[in-house]
Structure 1
Amino acid sequence: MKISTRPVYEVLVVDMEGRLDSMAAGYGNDEMVKIVKGEHKKILVNLGKLEFISSAGLRVLLLGAKLLQGAGGQMKLCEANAFVNDVLATSGFASLISLYPTEAEAMKAFN
């Protein structure tokens, strides 16, 4: 699991790569908490290079979204592959955090 960030105007893009499963959830939680407690209040998580996500991985994203929302921020997701998209949809997660097909579309959706 690799997590990196890059600022794009007022949005912080978080790129996730690899597998976000129970083995990576501890690292993912620590990184997500650091990211959402930072200066950026608009965070876009790009899942384009995420190969797999488990329920533990879903909790990482949910924790980040809840912490950010509590601080008056917004989180959006983009570019999930078919498997990750199915997991998000099946778990009902897609109704909690907006998911966009491309990074450009997600960027436009921030207000």
Structure 2
Amino acid sequence: MEITTNEVAGVSFVNLDGEIKSTTSGEVMDALVGLVQGGANKLLLNIKDVSFISSAGLRSILVAAKLLKNSNGQLNICNANESVKKVLETSGFTSLVSLYPDEDEALAAFN
């Protein structure tokens, strides 16, 4: 799992590359929670290069989303491939976090 982050105009961009599964979900959660605890309140999660997400992976993103919601922050996800998008939708994840087809739309959707 490769995680890269940068901040532009108050939005923390997080790019994930690889599979988010039990062996990598802790790393993802640590990165996301660390950003939120460090003061980030707008996270844009680009999962274009994520080929697989397990329930452990969903949980790692959910923890960050709930932390953000509790602090009036927002998490937007973009560029999910069809299989990952299906997992997110089937699990009911999209009722908590918004999915966008590309980074521009996800960025424009921040409050």
RMSD over aligned CA atoms reads: 0.9
Listed as ranges, the matches of 1:1-111 within 5 Å are: 1-111=1-111
Name the TM-score, length of structure 2 as normaliser: 0.95
Deviation at 1:83, TM superposition (A): 0.9
Q: Secondary structure at the match of 2:45?
A: strand
Amino acid at match of 1:37: Q
Amino acid at match of 1:46: N
Whole-angstrom CA distance in 2 between matches of 1:40 and 1:32? 9
Uncovered stretches (5+) of structure 2, i.e. residues with no partner: none
Cα-to-partner distance string for 1:19-53 (whole Å, 9 max, x where unaligned): 00011112122212111112221111011111110
Amino acid at match of 2:2: K
Between the two proteins, the alignment pairs up a number of residues equal to 111
Cα-to-partner distance string for 1:62-84 (whole Å, 9 max, x where unaligned): 00000111122111111001111
Name the TM-score, length of structure 1 as normaliser: 0.95
Select between 11-20 and 67-76 the one with higher mean Cα deviation: 67-76
Q: Secondary structure at the match of 1:27?
A: helix
Whole-angstrom CA distance in 1 between matches of 2:4 and 2:38? 14
Whole-angstrom CA distance in 2 between matches of 1:79 and 1:8? 19
Q: Secondary structure at the match of 1:99?
A: strand
Whole-angstrom CA distance in 2 between matches of 1:106 and 1:29? 20
